[in-house]
Amino acid sequence: MSWPELSTPPIESVHLPVLEAHRVRLRVLRLDLLHPLIHGNKWFKLKINLDHIIATGARTVLSFGGAYSNHIYALAAAARQLELRSIGMIRGELPRPLNPVLQFAEEQGMELYPMDRDSYRRKHEKAVLDALCHRFGGVHVLPEGGSNELAVRGCADIVQHLRFESQSTRRVVALACATGATMAGLLRGLAHQKIPVQEVLGISVLKARGYPRSEIVRWLRDCPQAAKQSWDVLEHYHGGGFARSSPELEAFLSQFRQYCDIPVEPVYSGKLFHGLVDAVVQGRIGADSEIIALHSGGVVPASL
């Protein structure tokens, strides 16, 4: 068993005419380059959880995800690296041939099982969890997306990679937001390290009004210093819902790729940059701001 070897993620500048016209500097923290398989925020969410699983002596980890879950993808790779048995409960049907995300997970040794949508909605309930433990034996269960208290603590370490270029401009940190765990961890890390940032801005990738915000509030309940920081979640850039796109989003991505070779997809990073650029155009992010956007990786669904 060996822990993954990680690279130091670079920060790259993005030069878009629309941003330069508004005197806004955009730089991207390339967390997608952290590891070839366990990249982005997923490593930060998994690392303390995996350490805890190993410390308890458990040898099997079970978690949940949709057909294009980056969490399932990363967990399968991490479990193989650490010689753990992994089980993925997939929402809905499990048609074959598998899509690239689930095929990769299976190739990593993850055992995949379909979970009907009613049971999936109740996956946090004791009766459902007890049935899974009885079915598979002694398993350690991670929630969907890997989002729990240990994940939030792990995401606090992301702040160690933030490096702003200017001391005088308004500093903004931005990220794609789903369960809110990464953003809550980031807010905790900024408060603990006392890094001067004027705002943390989440771009929701879900069509679930209020959900990311309520989850962030919940994660920050026991960290009053983090809760005092300025933060917001923009909820109008989900493109129709998770793993869905829209003509507007696709048009933006086409333009973005003309000016930048940073890889983007319509599930996470594409919505992040779309929301940020529009926020600048609308005046939500003012002139003379420096934005560091977290590129959390992501696998492009073949259907998009």
pLDDT band for position 303 (cuts 50, 70, 90): very low
* Residue corresponding to tokens 């155009």: 281
**Which of 115, 297, 148 minimizes the C-alpha distance to 219?**
148
Neighbouring residues of 208: CB distance < 8 A, sequence distance ≥ 6: none
Q: What are the sequence ranges of the domains in the chain?
A: 11-36+154-294, 41-149
- 179 pLDDT higher than 70: yes
Please state the pTM of the whole predicted model. Answer: 0.93
pLDDT band for position 65 (cuts 50, 70, 90): very high
Q: Looking at residue 302, what is its pLDDT?
A: 43
Q: Looking at residue 95, what is its pLDDT?
A: 87
- 300 pLDDT higher than 60: no
Rounded average pLDDT over 248-260: 95
Rounded average pLDDT over 167-173: 90
Can you say whether the dihedral through the CA atoms of 130, 136, 137, 142 is positive or negative?
Answer: negative
Residue 302 carries which side chain, given as an amino acid letter? Answer: A
Domain range 41-149, its CATH number among 3.40.50.720, 3.40.50.360, 3.40.50.1100, 3.40.50.970: 3.40.50.1100
pLDDT band for position 299 (cuts 50, 70, 90): low
Tokens of 137: 């034996």
State the average pLDDT for the chain: 93
Domain range 11-36+154-294, its CATH number among 3.30.1360.200, 3.40.50.1100, 3.40.50.2000, 2.130.10.10: 3.40.50.1100
Can you say whether the dihedral through the CA atoms of 23, 294, 202, 117 is positive or negative?
Answer: positive
What is the rounded radius of gyration, in angstroms, for the C-alpha atoms of the chain?
Answer: 19
- 301 pLDDT higher than 70: no
Residues of the chain above pLDDT 70, percent: 98
Rounded average pLDDT over 234-263: 93
CA torsion 51-54-58-63 (nearest 10°) is 30
Can you say whether the dihedral through the CA atoms of 124, 120, 43, 223 is positive or negative?
Answer: negative
pLDDT band for position 165 (cuts 50, 70, 90): very high
